Amino acid sequence: MVKNFFQNFPCKPSRQIAYDHWNGMNNARKEFIMKTKEITTRWLGLALACGTLTFAVSTQAGKPQPPAPSGPTYRIVALGAGNSVSAINEAGSVVGGFQNLAGVYAGFVVVPEASANGPVYFRDTTPMDGRNDLIRELPGLSTLGGGASDINDAGLVVGSSHLFEWYYQATLWLGETPIGLGFLDGYGGTNISIAYAVNNQGLIAIGTEESGEAPAGVVVPKDTNGDNVPDTWFEDANGDGYNDLVLVVAPRVYGPPPDEWPIARFTPQGINDANQMIVNGYDTAKAYRLTPDYADADGDGNPWFADMNADRYNDLLVPLIGLSGASSYATDINAAGQVVGSSNRRAVRWDFAANGTPTIKDLGLLSKSVRSMGATAINDAGQIVGFAAFQNSRTTFLVYKGTMYDLATRLTNGTGWTDLSASDINNEGCIVGRGYLNGVYQGFVAIPVTQP
């Protein structure tokens, strides 16, 4: 191309001089490249001979290939079309929501079957209709369906189910029996309540939608027969329609008259076995961790609430400040009290000093093309799962022993799976969520194969 360019010059002497100059420079460049290759080849051979190279070189079709990355691997199991998994307990039972045969979205639980090859989460035998026979539908408070949000190690399942078309109530399932946990006092709580989480003591984090004006609370069950096992989650001694066993952890706060618009609304998100809760503030744009004070300093009989300065805010709520002071959102809390969530479009974790002071940690980026990230769950070993969103897709990330992985690249049988989104991880390292298998939306369980 350069040669033809110079040949088009009208002045032959100038054209020839320019061409000769370019040709000489080009020959010099070729000689330099050849010498560089020779030096590089000698250095590489010496490095390999001396063992100073820290990576291994393999060949595939005659081309050098990088070593296979180390780290955990998983076997993914589909739960069936239209299913979405929200939580998994330590026994491996999973809960979520699915579309039943009547076309209604309902809650479900799957208790896996044992086999020589590991737990079985999908079986289609009678008839071969493509549906998962292991899914047990959770009957709602009506025929309008609902959904399950959490399950504890005793098999207690919580979520919500519809009473009427636009009314749904926090629900606890004892086996096949749904128990309504009641509505909450306040506009937005009188027709909607949601059970977000349940711990192994049977305490339930209860609230309403994130923009609702009802308080966030905790259902503290009673043991009426004295066998040290909770058996009562709803009680209404005065007949006002509200659950007497709900204790407020974060009341809504209204501004001054005459507008009296809510300036602080809260939603509980999780509760651990130390009865610590995480709460998100809708108007404050902050996440909080709450540790109950059983000394009950203000004497109100509620160890989850204290207001010594009468400002209507709970003194026990410790704000979880976001990155560079940005907003924060909490999604899960483990037994050690560590909290994960998101801030400034990044996945974060909050750790706590002995005096309860939080510090925030940015978990990093999965890749340079990620547009936003958020952590969704953390187990007691500190393993974290969450989402990484790209321009037109998303995937699940896993933080394992301080290293971040793309779950899609750690699957031993991941062909056909896309857009994975994890919702929970148990202490065995099993991950649950939803995604697309060959273009069909469904829930999944990712079971560890190797965890080096």
The pLDDT value recorded for residue 59 is 31
Query: What was the pLDDT predicted at 17?
Result: 32
How many domains does the chain divide into?
Answer: 2
Mean pLDDT of 44-51: 34
Distance of CA 396 to the CA centre of its chain: 9
User: 131: pLDDT confidence band, cut at 50, 70 and 90?
Assistant: confident
The answer to whether residue 11 is domain-embedded is: yes
Q: Are 242 and 234 in contact (CB under 8 A)?
A: no
Report the C-alpha dihedral over residues 120, 125, 129, 130, rounded to 10 degrees.
Answer: 20
What is the extent of the structural domain holding 9? 2-50
One domain, residues 30 and 176: no
Tokens of 175: 């086996």
Q: What is the mean pLDDT of the chain?
A: 86
Does 346 reside within a domain?
no
What is the residue-wise DSSP string for 248-264?
EEE--EE-STTT--EEE
Regarding whether 159 and 46 lie in a shared domain, the answer is no
| Domain C-terminal end among 320, 345, 379 | 320
150 pLDDT above the threshold of 50 = yes
Task: Please provide the DSSP assignment of 379-425 as one string.
Answer: -TT--EEEEEE-SS-EEEEEEETTEEEEGGGGBTT-TTEEEEEEEEE
| Among 181, 194, 157, CA closest to 234 | 181
Q: Is residue 328 part of a domain?
A: no
Question: Among the listed ranges 46-60, 145-159, 232-246, 254-268, which one has the minimum average pLDDT value?
Answer: 46-60
Residue with the bigger pLDDT between 261 and 219: it is 219
List the structure tokens of 408.
Answer: 């899609």
Output 41 or 372, whichever has higher pLDDT. Answer: 372
Site of tokens 């009865």: 275
In angstroms, what is the C-alpha Rg of the chain? Answer: 29
Residues 424, 387: contact at Cβ < 8 Å?
no
**What band does 6 get if pLDDT is binned at 50, 70 and 90?**
very low
Same domain (yes/no): 39, 146: no
The verdict on 273 and 168 lying in the same domain is: yes
What pLDDT shows up at residue 142? Answer: 93
Identify whether 101 is part of a domain: no
Token reading at 430: 């099993």
List phi, psi (to 5°) of 16: -65, -40
150-183: b (≥16 Cβ within 10 Å) or e: bbbeeebbbbbbbbeeeebbbbbbeeeebbbbbb
Furthest CA-CA distance within the chain = 111
Residues 191 and 308 in one domain: yes
**What's the pLDDT score for residue 28?**
42
Q: What 3-state DSSP class applies to 209? A: coil
- pLDDT tens digits, 255-275: 988 888 889 999 999 999 999
Q: Is residue 179 part of a domain?
A: yes
pLDDT at 69: 59
The mean pLDDT value for 18-36 works out to 40
Residue 58 has pLDDT above 80, yes or no: no
Which of the four pLDDT bands, split at 50, 70 and 90, describes residue 187? confident
Does one domain contain both 214 and 315? yes
To the nearest whole percent, how much of the chain has pLDDT over 70?
85
Average pLDDT of the residues in 389-399:
95
The burial class, CB within 10 Å (0-12 / 13-18 / 19+), for 91 is middle
**How much is the pTM?**
0.83
The rounded distance, in Å, linking the Cα atoms of 165 and 179 is 19
Residue 207 Cα distances to 186, 271, 371, 390, angstroms: 11, 13, 31, 32
Based on the fold, state whether residues 182 and 312 are members of the same structural domain.
Answer: yes
pLDDT in tens, 309-329: 989 999 999 999 999 999 999
Find the mean pLDDT for residues 441-445: 96
**Helix/strand/coil for 272:** coil
SS3 110: strand
How deeply is 271 buried, as exposed, middle or buried, from its count of CB atoms within 10 A (0-12, 13-18, 19+)? buried
Tell whether 239 is covered by a domain.
yes
Q: What is the pLDDT of residue 27?
A: 44
Q: Which of 36-40, 263-267, 298-302, 361-365 has the lowest mean pLDDT?
A: 36-40
Residue count of the chain: 452
62 pLDDT band, cuts 50/70/90, is very low
